[in-house]
Amino acid sequence: IAKPGLMQKMMGLLPGMGELKGMMDQVDAEKDMKRLFGIIDSMTPEERRNPKVIDQSRRQRIAKGAGVQHNEVNELIKQFDAMASIMKNMAGQGIGNRMKMVQELQRGGMLDGGGALAKQKKGTGKRLTPKERAKLKKERERELRRRKRGK
């Protein structure tokens, strides 16, 4: 699956997925897949079977093992939960109804162009300490003064 261009070829072979194939050209699917595989490979078999057991300390361990930020692990788990409920809804339906659901998800913004769940809004990151805030403020003021002198 990690071979270059394989995701686009696979999407082209699926009936009704031709338009998604074109959208995937805009998304670096292979890079995302490698990142996701890294996160999943950093999980224990129990965590893969039942993601509900993944608490905050486990998420940090998984993130360190995969070389990503812990919010990316959180995002993957949220996407998994969302897709699990969607798959349960689609399980009893025919192929026509499934395709309609995929199109509705795309129109509603739930799916990005690559067929994956749209990314959740990212947080602002860690909060700064008062010292860090003061240092950042000084740097901004210096930069502003430099720009004024340059004009």
What was the pLDDT predicted at 114?
47
Query: In this structure, what DSSP letter does residue 122 have?
Result: P
What domains sit in the chain, N to C, each tagged with a CATH number?
Answer: 6-124 (1.10.260.30)
User: Percent of the chain, pLDDT > 70?
Assistant: 64
* DSSP labels, 128-146: PPHHHHHHHHHHHHHHHHH
> Looking at this protein, which amino acid is placed at residue 70?
H
Lowest mean per-residue pLDDT among 12-26, 81-95, 109-123: 109-123
Angle at 121 between CA 11 and CA 64, to 5 degrees: 80
Lowest mean per-residue pLDDT among 19-28, 61-70, 84-93, 101-110: 19-28
pLDDT over 70 (residue 19): no
CA distances (Å), origin 124, targets 25, 29, 71, 121, 128: 29, 25, 11, 10, 10
Within 8 A by CB and 6+ apart from 144, the residues are none
